[in-house]
Amino acid sequence: MNFIYDLHRTMMSQKLILVYQGDFTQETTKSILAMAERNLDSSGEESSIKRKVFNVMVESLQNIVKHSDELVDGQTRSHAAIFLIGKEANRYSIMSGNPIRKVNVDKLKAALDKINSLDKDGLKDLYKEIIKNTTISEKGGAGLGFVDMARKSGAKLEFAFPEMNAEYCFFCLKVNVPREAGEN
């Protein structure tokens, strides 16, 4: 039972204010957003910061719901993923992780690297270009989510793809939103 205390200590040391691990659905997403909104409202955070954090949370959660690959391990099928919010003195960190097939990693990494290579004006231009030229994918996305997260946060997207097994990686994403309105 020490793992409970160890988990609590880890959450405190990482300054995590919300963690959810499990299957993600639209209903789960609504509940997570409602909890986070209450937490942000009770913290007395500036409304402009709350809007940015909330926007990044919505995009991150939609990414999990729409684009997480179903993990098939033997007879077990799962859409299990994780979502976390951390609050530090100078920023909020919105983090997520979900299974992704290895065959999809290179395309996603290339898109994220392109986004991270752009400045504020470049992101704005890419956003407009996607709106103008892109059709909605079969999973319901047009590719705007990551661009929007980078624009709202004013920071580079942090990501990694640790290997889970021969067929899957775990897509880890971290988006930092400054707690001072003037930072971006």
Q: Pick the residue with more confidence: 1 or 66?
A: 1
Mean local confidence (pLDDT), 127-136: 77
Q: How far apart are CA 89 and CA 83, in angstroms?
A: 20
* Per-residue model confidence as pLDDT tens digits over 70-127: 776 665 566 689 999 999 989 999 999 999 999 999 999 999 999 999 999 999 999 8
The one-letter code for the residue type at 75 is: Q
Q: Is 99 exposed, middle or buried (0-12, 13-18, 19+ CB in 10 A)?
A: buried
CATH topology of domain 2-183: Heat Shock Protein 90 (3.30.565)
Q: What's residue 137's pLDDT?
A: 53
With both helix axes pointing from N to C terminus, report the angle between 144-153 and 47-67 in degrees, rounded to the nearest 10.
Answer: 160
* Per-residue model confidence as pLDDT tens digits over 21-79: 988 888 889 999 999 888 888 888 889 999 999 999 999 998 888 778 777 666 556 66
Q: What's residue 178's pLDDT?
A: 95
Q: Pick the residue with more confidence: 5 or 77?
A: 5
Please give, one letter per residue, the 3-state secondary structure of the chain: CHHHHHHHHHHHHCCEEEEEEEECCHHHHHHHHHHHHHHHHHHCCCHHHHHHHHHHHHHHHHHHHHHCCCEEECCEEECEEEEEEEECCCEEEEEEEEEEEHHHHHHHHHHHHHHHHCCHHHHHHHHHHHHHHCCCCCCCCCCHHHHHHHHHHCCCCEEECCECCCCEEEEEEEEEEECCHHHC
Mean residue pLDDT across the chain = 87
* Per-residue model confidence as pLDDT tens digits over 140-171: 455 789 999 999 999 999 999 999 989 999 99
Placement of tokens 């719901």 in the chain? 65
Give the residue among 27, 5, 32 at the shortest CA–CA distance from 95: 32
Residue 139: pLDDT band by 50, 70, 90 thresholds?
A: low
> Contact at 8 Å (CB) between 176 and 44?
no
